[in-house]
Chain A
Amino acid sequence: GDSVTQMEGPVTLSEEAFLTINCTYTATGYPSLFWYVQYPGEGLQLLLKATKADDKGSNKGFEATYRKETTSFHLEKGSVQVSDSAVYFCALSGSGNQFYFGTGTSLTVIP
């Protein structure tokens, strides 16, 4: 079945450091891929998405490219800020209109 595997956390970075959170997926067909962010005590918010191979999703300085050949959708940001501290979830939506989520990666950015 469809599934998502993402990098284990927690991740701790200094402000202005480069961020990568790895995500790989297994799916039949051609899923859409998403990154969600969750701040403490809140629900998940969409960060970015890509709906076909080679698409790049971007938002708030974060980017991820849909790589069909490596079944990956890694999240990157060139310079993180303290306000980026949160839990990040990789997800896919495939046939059957269901969403599948990774286990989440907690990011802490220290000044």
Chain B
Amino acid sequence: DAGITQSPRHKVTETGTPVTLRCHQTENHRYMYWYRQDPGHGLRLIHYSYGVKDTDKGEVSDGYSVSRSKTEDFLLTLESATSSQTSVYFCAISGTGNQYTEAFFGQGTRLTVV
């Protein structure tokens, strides 16, 4: 299994509070991604990174920010959590960045905003 660790695995937070989710990899892969998974929507890309300090928005980036100060860590921050951000969040990594390489996924973080 690819070395990807997400933390925390579960979190309950209150509306309006900031929340940070962490993704840590031991594979030295260049590309890292944050997805959210919701029933009926599959996986939707929030943000991704193609190198240290290099990030870009995905299709559902509003209300989220990311940072990547080291190759191994990719942080996702919900600036002010809302109930619509209740979801399961997955981090993924990809090695070479060419389209022939698959993505490897972490175990997910279940976030509940009350």
A complexed with B: yes
**Given A43-B108, A45-B105, CB of A93 within 8 Å of CB of B90:** no
Q: Which residues of chain B come closer than 8 Å to A89, judged between CB atoms?
A: 42-43
Query: Which residues of chain A from 72 to 107 have any CB-CB distance to chain B below 8 Å in the complex?
Result: 89, 93-95, 97-104
With an 8 A cutoff between CB atoms, is A32 at the interface?
A: yes
**Given A89-B43, A98-B48, CB of A31 within 8 Å of CB of B99:** yes
Distance in angstroms from B47 CB to nearest chain A CB is 11
Kindly state the separation between the CA atoms of A100 and B35 in the bound complex, as whole angstroms: 10
Residue tally, chain A, CB below 8 Å to B: 24
B-side residues, CB < 8 A to A, are: 31, 33, 35, 40-45, 48, 50, 58, 90, 92, 94, 97-108
A-side residues, CB < 8 A to B, are: 30-32, 34, 36, 42-46, 49, 51, 89, 93-95, 97-104
